[in-house]
Amino acid sequence: MLASPGQPRLRRMQGLERHGDIAGWRLAAAGLFVMLLLQTSATQADDGIEVRSASTLLQGGVWYLDANIDYTLNETVREALDSGLVLDIELTIRLEERRRILWDPVFAELRQRYELQFHALTERYILRNLNSGEQSTYGSLSAALAEVGTVRSLPIIDDALLDRGQAYRVSIRAVVDIKQLGGPLALISLLWNDWRISSDTVRWRLAR
Mean pLDDT of 56-77: 94
pLDDT, residue 23, reads 43
pLDDT, tens only, 85-132: 889 999 999 999 887 777 766 789 999 999 999 999 999 999 999 999
Residues 6+ apart with CB under 8 A from 156: 56, 63, 64, 65, 93, 95, 108, 110, 170
Least confident of 4-18, 75-89, 115-129, 143-157: 4-18
Q: At what angle do helices 3-44 and 75-82 cross, to 10 degrees?
A: 130
Mean pLDDT of 72-86: 85
Whether residue 8 has pLDDT greater than 50: no
pLDDT, residue 114, reads 98
Least confident of 73-77, 98-102, 155-159, 166-170: 98-102
Whether residue 7 has pLDDT greater than 50: no
pLDDT category of residue 195 using cuts at 50, 70 and 90: confident
pLDDT, residue 166, reads 86
pLDDT, residue 29, reads 43
Higher pLDDT, 75 or 21: 75
